[in-house]
Structure 1
Amino acid sequence: MPGKAKIAVLLSGRGSNMAALLYAAKADDCPYEIVLVASNDPGAGGLKLAAAEGIATFAQPHKGLARADHDALMDEAVRGAGADYIALAGYMRILSEPFVQSWQGRMLNIHPSLLPQYKGLHTHERALAAGDSHGGCSVHLVTTELDDGPVLAQTPVAVLPGDDADTLAARVLIAEHQLYPRTLAAYVGRFSDPEWIVAKVGELALTLPETSARESHGSPGWRVGGESSGKFFAYVSVRHHGEDAVALLAKTSGPDEMAALIDAEPELYYRPAYYGASGWIALRLDRPQVDWAHVRGWLEKSWRAVAPKRLTKLMDAAEEF
C-alpha cells in the first residue's frame, strides 16, 4: 500500500488546529502523518506540544530578515523533513509569492469565516456587525492573493443571541478542529482513490487525437483509432492479478527499456502481470506527488506507438508549428 502523505504544519501561536491535525493523524486509517511543526516564533506553544508528541520542530524568527529570506529558510526546513504538503494553522505571516508558487496545490489554510466573506482579520467582529445569522470556517488552497484560493470545505456556525466576538470565536474553533483534519485527509487521500486516479488519467488520455475510453478485461482503457480498428494505448490496473497497486499501464519499446526503467526506479515502475510479457510497463499512481506531466508523457509515448501514421504525422506537424 502507498505510504501516508507527509505534512508540515506552520504556526505562530498555541497550535490548537495543529493539535487537531496531529491527533487525527494517530488513527491507523488517516492518510497523512505530521513530519514537522515549524514556526516564526521560537516561543510558540504549538512547538512545545509537537515536541512532547515526538514530532520534529523548527523555529526561525522573522525579525531582521527579508520576507523572501525567511521564507527560504522555512522552505528548506519543510523540504528537509520530506513534506509533501503544508498545512497553515494560525501562521501569522504573509508568505512571499515564490514560496506560495513553489507549493501551489500543496498548501492548505484554515480561515475563520465563510469565504469569500471576511478575508483577513477580525472576521467574527465583521460577521456580527453585519448581522449575519452564521459565522463559520473554511479550508482553502493557498494562492498569492490573501485568503482567495479555491475553497475545499466549509462549516457554518450559528450566531446566538448575545454573542460577542469571543463567544462566536470559541464555537467556530470547535468547528475548525473538526473540519481541518477531515478536509486535509480527503484532499491528500485522493492519490489512493482509484476512481479519482482513473478520472485523472482519462482526462489526460482523451486530449490526444481520436481517442476513446473502453473497458478491457475489467480494466479502464483508452484506444486510438476507429471503432473497429482502434488499438489500446493505455490501461489503469486497479490491483488486478493480486498486485497491490493502482497503476498506469503503457507500452515500452521492449524488454530492455522495461528492465532499465525498473532497475532505475523500482519504487515507481514494475513489470505488470499478464501485460508485462507484451512489453507494457506499470507506473504507480497511488502515491503522493504524482508527476502528472510525466504521466501525460507516457500516455503520449504509448499513443504514438500504436496510432496510425496519419495521426502521428499531424501531431508532429502541429508541434513543429
Structure 2
Amino acid sequence: MFPINRPRRLRSSPQLRRMVQETVVTASDLIYPLFAVPGSSVANEVVSMPGVYQLSVDKIVDEAKEVYDLGIPAVILFGIPEDKDVEATGAWHDCGIVQKAATAIKEAVPELLVIADTCLCEYTTHGHCGYLETGDLTGRVLNDPTLELLKKTAVSQAKAGADIIAPSGMMDGFVSAIRSGLDEAGFQNIPILSYAAKYASAYYGPFRDAADSSPSFGDRRTYQMDPANGTEAIKEIELDIAEGADMLMVKPALAYMDIIWRVKEATNLPVAAYNVSGEYSMVKAAALNGWIDEKKVTLETLTSFKRSGADLILTYHAKDAVRWLNE
C-alpha cells in the first residue's frame, strides 16, 4: 500500500517505460490490404479513404515491393473486375483480376505472403455474396449453391499463387467446402484464414467505395452477424475450427475488442483483427482537420488491438505505422 507501493516508479523515464512495456506492435503483426483493378499505370485514390488506391497489376507489384521492404510480411488482395455477372465469374476465373495480381506479386516478390479475399460481392451484379433466390429483393443468399462458387474461387486463387485463402462471405459451411476443394485440387498445405466473426457493420462504408461492392438492394444482415451478439461469435469460431480453419478473424476491430478477447480466450489458433475502412477513415478525417495526432492515435489503436488478443492486424495504416515504429 501507499507510500510503499508507487507504480509511478516504473513510469519515470522513456527507457524504463519501454523496458516494462507489456504489448509491442511490430511490422510482423501487420497485413496490408490492396485493391486490384484492370488496366495499366492505374492509381485511383479512394476519395473516402485518403492514401488508399485502386491499383492496376503493375502498380500493385510496385506497392508489394514497398510493403516487403518495410518488413510487412503479407498483403490481402481484393479485386474490382471489368465486368460483373450473377455467376461472379470474375471471382473464380483463372484470368480474374485477383488471380493476375497474385501471380504477378509472387513472381516479383516471392517471399511476400499473398492472402486472397475469397468472396463474391465485388463480382456480382447485385453486390451480394452469392446466388440469390429468384425475385428476392431482401438479399437472402442461397447458402449451399454459393458454397460451390466459393470452392471454385479458392482453388483458382491457390492456382494463381495465393499463399492463404481468406473466405469472408459468412456462408454456413464455407470453411468445410473450401477445405475440401483445396484438398481435392492438391492444395492441402494452403491455410485458411476464416472471417469467422464478421459483423453486419456500418464501419464498412468506405470499403464499398474502394471495392465497388455496395449491394444494389437489401443488406447483408441475413448472413453477416448482428453487432449486438457476442456469444454467437464463439459459436461461429467453434464451427470454423471444426471445419478446418487454420486462423480466425474478427471484423471490424475497434468496436469489437471484447469479441477479439473472447475469441482469443476460446481458441489456441492465431487470431486476426481487421481494422476496417470506417475506422481508418475516421482517423484520417480527424487528422486532416487537425483534431487529433494521427501517429499517436493510430499506434495507440493498433496496440489496443494486440493487447485485446489479436496476433495479426489487417490495416490500411500498415505502411505508415511501420515507418512511425522505426523512427
TM normalised by structure 1 equals: 0.30
Is the radius of gyration larger for structure 1 or structure 2?
Answer: 1
Q: Which has the higher contact order (CA 8 A, sep 6+)?
A: 2
Q: Normalising to structure 2: TM-score of the pair?
A: 0.30
Give the structure with the higher percent strand.
Answer: 1
